[in-house]
Structure 1
C-alpha cells in the first residue's frame, strides 16, 4: 500500500501542468510526507518498540527522534511534516481545511525533502 501511495505522489510531482486546487493531490502528498518521515524515524530510533506507539504516531516518533538526535539537521523537515500535514486524514475530516488553503507546491517541496531523508 505504501508503494502505491509513493508512486502516486511521485507521479503528481512529475506532472507538468499540475492542478493546484485538486484536493486529491494534496491529500496524497500529505500522506506520503508523513509515511516517508515515519519510515525515516523508525529506521533511526534505537530500540524502538512500535507496539507502544499511540494514535499520534508521527508526533510520538518525532519526540523520540528529537530526544535521540536533538542536533540533527533533519529535525526541521520532521517539524515541517508535523506542522503542514494533518494527523487525521479521512473522508469526513475537518483537517482538510489546512490542505485546501495550502499550495500544492509547498507539499511537493516537503515530499521531496522527506524523500531525501537518509
Structure 2
C-alpha cells in the first residue's frame, strides 16, 4: 500500500517469470486499485485479522523445486514496512488473506 496525493493505493504484481526485476515490475504494475474510501478502514481491519505481522519472514517448502512464489509487502502510514514471502509454503491465516482479497474484488492469488 502506498500513500499518494489522493489517498492510498494497493498494487498487485503478477509475473510468470521466476526471475523478475522487481523495480521494473513495480513501474509497470499489472493492476493498480484504489479501494473505495469508506471501505479502506474495513479492508485494513480484515488485513490485520490475517495476523501477517506475526508471520515468519519466510516460508519455504524445500521439497518442491518449482511452483508458486509469493510476496506480501505492507507499508504503514509511519513508514514501517512489513515484508513476508514464501515458496510453495504458506503462513497461518493465508486463506483468510485470500478471502479478504476476494471480498474487495482484488485479484485472487495462489
Which of the five TM-score ranges fits, normalised by the shorter chain? under 0.3
Query: TM (normalized to structure 1)?
Result: 0.26
Q: Which has the higher contact order (CA 8 A, sep 6+)?
A: 1
Q: Relative to total residues, which structure has the larger strand share, 1 or 2?
A: 2
Q: Relative to total residues, which structure has the larger helix share, 1 or 2?
A: 1
Query: TM (normalized to structure 2)?
Result: 0.27
